[in-house]
Amino acid sequence: MNDQQQSGPERPDEPADVEHTLRLPGEQAQQQAPQQAQQQAPQQAQQQAQQQAQQQAPQQAPQGYPQYGQYGQQPYGRYGAQQQGAHAQQGAPSYVPSGPASYSPTQQQGRVYPQPYAGYGTAGPSYPQAERKEKRRGALWPVAVLALVVGLVGGAVGGAVVDQWQEATQDPGRTSGGLADVDTVSKAPLPADNGSIAAVAKKTLPSTVQIIAKTGGDESSGATGSGFFLDSQGHVVTNNHVVAEAADGGEIEVIDQAGKRYPATVVGRSPIYDLAVLYLKNPPKDIKPASLGNSTNLQIGEGVVAIGSPLGLSSTVTSGIVSALDRPVTTGGDANNVASYINAVQTDAAINPGNSGGPLVDMRGQVVGVNSAIATTGGSLGGESGNIGVGFAIPIEQVKVTADQILKDGEARYPVIGASVDSDGSGDGAHIKDVEKGSPAEQAGLEKGDVVTALNDRAVTDSPTLIVAIRSHLPGDEVTLTVDRDGQTKKLQVTLDSKVG
């Protein structure tokens, strides 16, 4: 499941020309309605006029607010040729998940996007456009300045919600009723039960960070996301799409839970798996690494917690369950048109722009995935509508392998068979388009025109499913391909080769 300026104690400043205040849906119309009634009726008829105006008020649409589901442009959203272990045909749709009970080009059910960077479009279905006032602020906002052009609610929702919350809690006496004046409840915090969401949050929040990536020193462009400490030496795991455009010549900053900022460099990236490892230039001595779990032990229905900085709101905790396992998901390509294929953990925990790279944690407080993508009901390419309860995370077992390769060699490798596949979504398997000479596929006897219907015991319904199945293994693994050739079923043993990516 990109992302945005931080909120809370160390939230980056908002734009110099914008200050946001929250107005709930219908609030503006309801406040104006009594005044309109008073102007149109004598004093003795005010009550009747007010009732009529209030009945009409909810029908008035907030002014200037984009329709629910409209999002800003995603800088990380280039859908290009797919150069993979089993290569998909160039031009194949790379923004839809695939596989059984998934989203396919023929189903037209939704789109999958890597979590966009803060400010490059946001979710906020219930908030009208914020008021605008002149006020000078700091300079960090340009990281998300595109929101002012195409989304605006990127800054409005994040800042306005926090401002409203602070206002409500600072003056409890303003609430209706008399409970605020009666001290009948202990103010001491309740202990967090082991295995509770509170206990998971307490354990994992100190290991979670926010990441700001600015492109080539250009204050007007960049991305933000989330991540977590991999070790006590200062290595951080995040999504490749969070830092990709700042990896060469840009600036990357990591912000910990306490709000302290650290410059960071990229140790290595894997566009294929949408993962990256960063290193803090001056790491603190009190780093608390995240506890890594085992995604192979996950069960559908068990509880999980997502932690990150959605919409720039740092240290945000949401919860849900594991909705599905081994979900084939394809996300848009990077700057070099390399798409990411994820053998994903699906969850209904709320994941929004800003959660990219953050941890998905089980109820033992162990990281079981890296939040990377969401499915949306956006009606057009590039459109998004925020969290709808369908989020995807990269399994931690894959993260461990890729991060270890990057730390040892500065690069990651992924398995290939040396064949390309058509991009059609026929549902009967992966159609082999070409076989490279001397490749493992050729040595195993795979031929052009073959239809792969299974890899080991895993059914293959289309090309992305085959690619994801291959990439869930390691280079050097031997796998069994079930192939349909002219109506006859064949079993082929293939030893996986590797490429850098």
Length in residues, the chain:
501
Quick check: 237 pLDDT over 80? yes
CA-wise closest residue to 140 among 197, 219, 75: 219
Stretch among 160-164, 363-367, 477-481 having the lowest mean pLDDT: 160-164
d(CA 318, CA 165): 17
| Mean pLDDT score, 260-287 | 96
Quick: pLDDT tens for 122-151: 333 333 333 333 333 333 222 222 221 222
- Residues designated as active site: 241, 274, 356
Lowest-confidence range among 114-128, 332-346, 470-484? 114-128
Range scoring the smallest mean pLDDT among 132-136, 266-270, 324-328: 132-136
Separation of alpha carbons 399 and 238, rounded Å: 10
- Which one is the CATH code of 413-500: 1.10.3720.10, 3.40.50.300, 2.30.42.10, 1.10.167.10? 2.30.42.10
What CATH architecture is 1-25+62-71+116-173+193-411? Beta Barrel (2.40)
More confident residue, 216 or 184: 216
In the predicted structure, residue 208 carries a pLDDT above the cut 50: yes
- Considering only CA atoms, which of 481, 381, 475 is closest in space to residue 429? 481
Predicted confidence band of residue 364 (pLDDT cuts 50, 70, 90):
very high
Confidence at residue 338, expressed as pLDDT on a 0 to 100 scale: 77
Residue 473 has a pLDDT of 96
Determine the pLDDT at residue 189: 52
Q: Hey, where are the domains in the chain?
A: 1-25+62-71+116-173+193-411, 413-500
Instruction: Give the residue carrying structure tokens 């043993």.
Output: 493
Percent of the chain with pLDDT over 90: 51
Q: What is the mean pLDDT of the chain?
A: 71
List Cβ<8 Å contacts ≥24 apart for 487-492: 489/453, 490/445, 492/444, 492/445, 492/446
Q: What is the pLDDT of residue 380?
A: 43
Q: Is 118 helix (H, G, I), strand (E, B) or coil?
A: coil
